[in-house]
Structure 1
């Protein structure tokens, strides 16, 4: 029978464990703590073979063996968090503009009318709309904290609603835009009738009398209020002038 080998006499060995993958939260904390490194400094003759984890700036371009580099570029090129409020009466063009912005930026678009229609809820169910918009606002704040741009198609008829969202976004350190879309009563009626005739998702019959009543309730944002919000980035302004 073989004797037990004393622990002190046991053959030594070592195990190299793979580094754990860098998760998004860990990556962002590293990015905040790490100084930016110019491309020319990342890899030069005589420099270390591997760019260290604290120098993430140009890792993927300098031939380092950082396996997380490819998706870092994807994360780095995403848009900055930004909140966009679309304000206007039915038929003013909110959804048309929202879809265009959501595709171009890109951004998450939250439209109560579409969700209510998909859930089989009447678009005139005020209580359900209020609950849905409150949930959307909570979700929008979560997305903003994660660095995502968000578009809210709530209409924002009251200044207090717009003010709540502006202050909420500023509290998160996020730029917030207010886009007020307007048209004459005749034009609003024409658009609403055309939309109803097309039978698109989330369309309901809205009469001229209803639009006239809505216009009486609507609080038009003045220049003083519009001045409290952030301007769109320069590369987006020309396209939005043609909305």
Structure 2
């Protein structure tokens, strides 16, 4: 997923860039309004993080031009130090989809960004996670691959759900262990054994492994034919 950050504060821009890139997004950056509008119009983005106060052209003008002139409906999350209600309403009037007041939590940025992208893609009501030909139905916690049912034990189901919710991201061993086992940390071979069981269950005859081991780090999903 591609995200454009339009932010003139170098420290804020760097923090956003590092956080989103670490979360699996493809990120690019503009440090002034004119460059931001040009990049926003020139490429397709899944979302735009847009500062309100920018040199060259302010965020409200960028947002208005993006909507009215370029006819782009890309989700825009506006970032600003202005917290008055009128300022927020003005942002929405000019086409912003959501609004965050500085200082903000990077985790909240990530959560709001994910929600905006899901709504934009029509995925809010979807109860399925999909990656390549693997489907996980969240309503029933059942899995199939290429239409064929796959039986998984509960811990393997949890691991697959976590990986499929952020398919571009590499999860560390510690993250997966914490998510699945919580405070009851398993011994060093338990995660490896469950990943092995998950791989065996998903990989039928002639099917490619969709779980990649990132040596020294953890695991991620990889589509058949995708470069490791």
The higher relative CO (CA closer than 8 Å, separation ≥ 6) is in 1
Give the number of the structure whose residues are more often strand, by fraction.
2
Same fold (TM over 0.5): no
Larger proportion of helix: 1
| Structure number with bigger Rg | 1
**Normalising by structure 2, what TM-score?**
0.31
TM-score, normalising length from structure 1?
0.29
